[in-house]
Copies of this chain bind each other. A is one copy, B any other.
Amino acid sequence: MSIIVQKYGGSSVATPDRIKSVARRIADRKDTGDGVVVVVSAMGDSTDTLTVLADQLTDAPPPREMDMLLSTGEIVSTALLTMALKAIGYDAIGLDGNQAGIQTTREHRRAQIQEIDPSRIHENLETGKIVVVAGFQGISEGLDITTVGRGGSDTTAVALAAKLGADVCEIYTDVEGVYTADPRIEPKARQLIELNFEEMAELANHGARVLHSRAVELAWVYNVPILVASSFTEKQGTLIHGGRNMEMKDKVKGIAHDLDVTKVTILGVPDHPGIAASIFSPLSDAGISVDIIVQNSSVDKLTDLSFTVERSSLDEALAVINPITKTIGASSLTSNTNLAKVSVVGAGMQSQPGYASTMFECLNKVGVNIEMITTSEIRITCIIHEEGVQKAIRALHSAFELEADIEES
């Protein structure tokens, strides 16, 4: 029996009517004869509602109890979706993270999936049942409930697909697929039919919200194809797969942007070996995720060092860096929160020159100043002021001829 994993996000199960409609879609898929495992998120904004309750009780919700609290959201939607399937005559069973055998590390709020014991899922698939699994959650050694971080139901779905050897992991959401750019900013943005894991990982890591980057990276490692599609329409969606060569003829695949960029600059850093480690190890120890790091060339053995973090991490980052600034003898510390990140991504970029200069010229032509630049083999990212984002995206979308592209099928 061939197995497929489907994942439905919170907006897809936000109301009883939507749950019924999702049940109908699952039933149709089941009718094709495959074994169907469904991962489900919490209904609509129920996770936010629970978070607000916790915030009314304490300024610092304890992570263990926060996980206990939030995990109930996915258990509710799991139970309801299972009921909806049974109500239309399809045998189904709902499993919470514990019952589904999802074993994680002990780090509450951001646990890692360590192993999945798929025996109960297999047993139920073999008797013809549709298996509905609560996303986002698992169980650590000692029976404690953990969650894998926000947006983590995607990760649950891909991990299950990998463990079960599923043919595909279908992620159903409120958009129709992956676009060349955010359609709210560039109305000419076009839906992509396919892209490869690396491209999707770069887009997700640099602001594309359609898919969680952890899920993409997991799919890449285990070579699980992901289909991203709308749970409200029957449109084709976007297939993300490992076919690297197929993609080479493409140039730029899409543009990602991220408005949540804060730059911290340490000025006048004495430039000697080990200085970077003395700054970034403490940040890492404090659990602060640093995105881009740029070090200017050294003048008189002094250098300026900049890095970006999410806005919500700024205060904590400054608290970590401030004493270090004094220890290492740097002259001062500044930060800027009005920044954004625009990235162009495409597997074809690695074999052909000129993409970077096209990007810089394009931004210059529309008067957008570049604050920082960073690149990977298949991506070029510019940090710019946030007010230039729309202008930049539209200009780049046109410069790289994204609206004109004819998709191969």
Contacts and interface: CB of A to CB of B under 8 A. Distances in A.
A5 B61 CA distance: 25
B87 A57 contact: yes
A58 B79 contact: no
B79 A68 contact: yes
A76 B50 contact: yes
User: For the complex formed by this chain, how many copies does it contain in all?
Assistant: 2
Given A69-B76, A96-B68, A56 B144 contact: no
Contacts of A86: 58, 62, 65
Interface residues of A, number: 38
B66 A72 contact: no
A131 B120 CA distance: 31
A406 B62 CA distance: 50
A105 interface: no
Nearest to A82: B65
Interface in A132-153: 143-145
Interface string A146-182: 0000000000000000000000000000000000000
A396 interface: no
A367 interface: no
A79 B69 contact: yes
A57 B84 contact: yes
Closest 10 CB pairs of A and B: A58-B87, A69-B79, A16-B56, A72-B72, A68-B79, A65-B79, A57-B84, A65-B82, A57-B83, A58-B83
